[in-house]
Structure 1
Amino acid sequence: MTISALAFALLNVLVKQSGNFNVNQVVFFRSIGTLFFTIPYLIKNKINFLGNKKQLLIARGVVGCIAMTLFFMSLNHLSMGSAVSIRYISPIFAAFFAVFLLKEHIKYFQWFCFLLAFMGVVILKGFDSNIDTIGLVYALLSAVFTGLVYIIIRKIGNSDHPIVIVNYFMIISAIIGGVLSIKHWTNPQGLEWLLLLSLGIFGYFGQVYMTKALQTTEVNQVAPLKYIEVVFTMLIGAIWFKEIYTLISLLGIILIIVGLTLNIVLKTKLK
């Protein structure tokens, strides 16, 4: 999940820089770039493209596409920090859904840890004083659908190879994004091709390692680790965009790390 978080943090930066393209076109290139990895892998290893739990695989693809599109849309209305922070309510939704759909038990101390980590995210990046309402709605809806993605992947379990799951997601997203971007298509120029195709590279590694993590560990334990992406985004922002962070931002990092560490340590000790 840590590798996944770093890859997605880099993806966030590239998506933000692709703001002059229609969001569906960005989704299309994000998906096509990843398919350059998944399809050859499946062919080389002679893995069945169709998978076993086809209905869940399709559901994961559709729900994932909606979540991704909504998040990319939120980046057009909010600062990157605000959009990422709001989206990271998703592990809370995932834990909530897990109680009812997967019958997983969440202890009281875990809810406290989730709250502590969430407070850290809010402090770390916070919400813009003049936050755009439409952007806020997009980010919140993205968080809800992302939480559902965690649950669907957990339901698939080890029945299907992680690359099969990712391949379904990318094919469905490429089709939806491609069709919806036809009327608003803008031809990339020069390095813009590299920028757009790089979305798929970082997205591939982020998606594969997230899928592996969710297949092998309970949702309520591994999902909160996605908060680390916010930390990576902050560090990349400092190096790439020369952003300056205050003591309040450092306090946010500490709260996130403490919340996540407590959840893992206490859960392990109290089993």
Structure 2
Amino acid sequence: MSKIIFITGASRGFGKIWAKALLQRGDKVAATARNTDSLNDLVAEFGDAVLPIQLDVTDRAASFAAVNKAKEHFGGIDVLINNAGFGLFGAIEETTEAQARQQMETNFFGLLWVTQAITPIMREQQSGHIIQVSSVLGLMTLPVLGLYNASKYAVNGLTETLATEVKGFGINVSLIEPNGFSTDWSGASAAQTEAIEAYAPVKQAFAEGATPDSWGKPEATTDAVLALIDSPNPPLHFLLGKVAYPMVAGVYAARQADFDAWKEVAEAAHGH
């Protein structure tokens, strides 16, 4: 049975690839982008099955209007894929207020607005699946991506809470947490801070830490994402790519070691 999907950030990268895969298998897709010209090829190939919507997710009113337009057009929404976002590269000290706010406005608040718009529709339907595209960097951090890390940690905290609040309404919630993939995220879609020379060694070490094999192929993700969408019992956390699991496992093991090492001191601080 075909599904109705609402996907943000569908102009390129994961959003474009997944939108096309969904349309190819017969689903209907409301695809949003800042510039809908980027969706013309999907419209030409799939016709009425795709509804292009111009949307800047940082505009809360526009996000609600876009979701309502999709609902009215298709009669409902089965799945939300909150994919819009970008990467901000640079040391925390280098980051301007405008850059920090824009990172959070897009990656966190934009996701929040679309989630708020779609939740009452799914609650009324007593069904739906909210999928937030986070990152492995919502579970661990890397240097030179401080504000991006923070935005994804915020997304994860919000989404874990959401899952507990809407479970009784028949709404599933999932976080897709990819490792690095060869999309425009680190290229044309990325933003850069103005460099402070003192951080050059940190940036060099970061750049040298990745090998060609570290970056996954975006087109290879489609089967996994379709399986997530089709699962009757989807996971809350869904790591994407072969690098993600060992990265996260190592970080969590180190955290547990810290917790254990300071357990007695922490317990004594309780006071009774």
TM-score by length of 1: 0.29
Quick one: higher RCO (CA 8 Å, sep 6+), 1 or 2? 1
In the superposition, the TM-score normalised over structure 2's length comes to: 0.29
The structure number with the bigger radius of gyration is 2
Richer in helix (by share): 1
Which structure dedicates a bigger proportion of its chain to strand?
2
